[in-house]
């Protein structure tokens, strides 16, 4: 899906822009490596955190579907002050 918002081409792609972070929250009482490896294989011992990110590369903007929906619904003046939409000036 290609569209233009504020002069930027917007590409919607969840494979690139949705990050899942897994962190082990439950640990066995035993400190043996064999037991810890068994616990590390079980999914119930982890918590997952989903993060939606946006990448800007030149005049292209890569966003997830959640970010695209919020852009389409309109953020008013917030979108103009967001760092992704600021003009890139020469490096000083």
92 domain residue, yes or no: no
34 domain residue, yes or no: yes
Any idea what DSSP says for residue 85? G
54 domain residue, yes or no: yes
| Rounded CA separation 70/31 (Å) | 46
* Res 78: pLDDT: 55
Average pLDDT, the chain: 78
Q: Quote the number of domains for the chain.
A: 1
91 domain residue, yes or no: no
90 domain residue, yes or no: no
User: For residue 36, what are the contacts with CB-CB under 8 A and spacing of at least 6?
Assistant: 27, 28, 30
What's the token pair of residue 15?
């494979």
8 domain residue, yes or no: yes
| pLDDT per position as a tens digit, 33-72 | 999 999 999 999 999 888 888 888 888 888 888 888 887 7
Q: Is the pTM of this model over 0.75?
A: no
33 domain residue, yes or no: yes
78 domain residue, yes or no: yes
């Amino acid at each position: 899906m290609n569209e233009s918002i504020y002069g930027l081409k917007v590409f919607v792609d969840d494979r690139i822009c949705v990050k899942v972070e897994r962190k082990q929250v439950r640990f066995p009482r035993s400190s043996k490596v064999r037991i810890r490896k068994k616990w590390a294989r079980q999914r119930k011992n982890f918590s997952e955190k989903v993060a939606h990110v946006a990448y800007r590369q030149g005049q292209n903007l890569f966003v997830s579907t959640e970010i695209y929906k919020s852009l389409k619904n309109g953020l008013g003046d917030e979108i103009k002050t967001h760092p992704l939409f600021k003009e890139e000036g020469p490096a000083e």
